Amino acid sequence: MLAGGYYQKTESIYYDTLTTANGCDSVLITNLMVEICTGIYRQIPYNFRIFPNPVMNVLNIEYQEEEKYLVQIVDLMGKIKYCDIKSGPSVIDVSNYPTGLYNIILKNSRTDDQTIFRIIIL
């Protein structure tokens, strides 16, 4: 975080004075909070097969277990594009999705364990 003219790594409140080309001053106050994330969910072992990757039309998800999973497709801005509960082999039509990189989040409905895969939609 750039504050006070230096890169800051510690929690604090930093003050900067910004001057425009017209000579007007503004004070910028930055409250930097640092949180250490140790993880919330346990990682699911890779008992899935997601293909093809990259994908153009239809994404296939195969499970090795007979469990229910919450399946989400999330763009890199965090917007959920698809959300459904699935069990068994699944086919998801992604032909209308914009080209880009997406995260597939698979969350076990019973245990809340989850895993994240990254796919490319062409």
Residues in CB range of 21: below 8 A, 6 or more apart: none
Q: Which residue has the tokens 């293909």?
A: 51
Query: What is the total count of domains within the chain?
Result: 2
Question: What is the pTM (predicted TM-score) of this model?
Answer: 0.63
pLDDT of residue 97: 96
pLDDT of residue 31: 62
Task: Specify whether 26 is located in the same domain as 72.
Answer: no
Residue 67 placed within a domain: yes
Task: Specify whether 90 is located in the same domain as 66.
Answer: yes
Residue 108 placed within a domain: yes
User: Domain of 104: which CATH number?
Assistant: 2.60.40.3080
Of 82, 106, 78, the closest CA to residue 92 belongs to 82
DSSP bridge partners of 92: 59
Q: Consecutive sets of 10 residues in the chain, 122 residues long: mean pLDDT of each? A: 59 69 69 56 66 94 83 92 90 95 89 86 93
pLDDT of residue 56: 94
pLDDT of residue 49: 86
If you compute the radius of gyration of the chain from its CA atoms, what whole number of angstroms results?
22
pLDDT of residue 24: 73
Domain that holds residue 102: 48-121
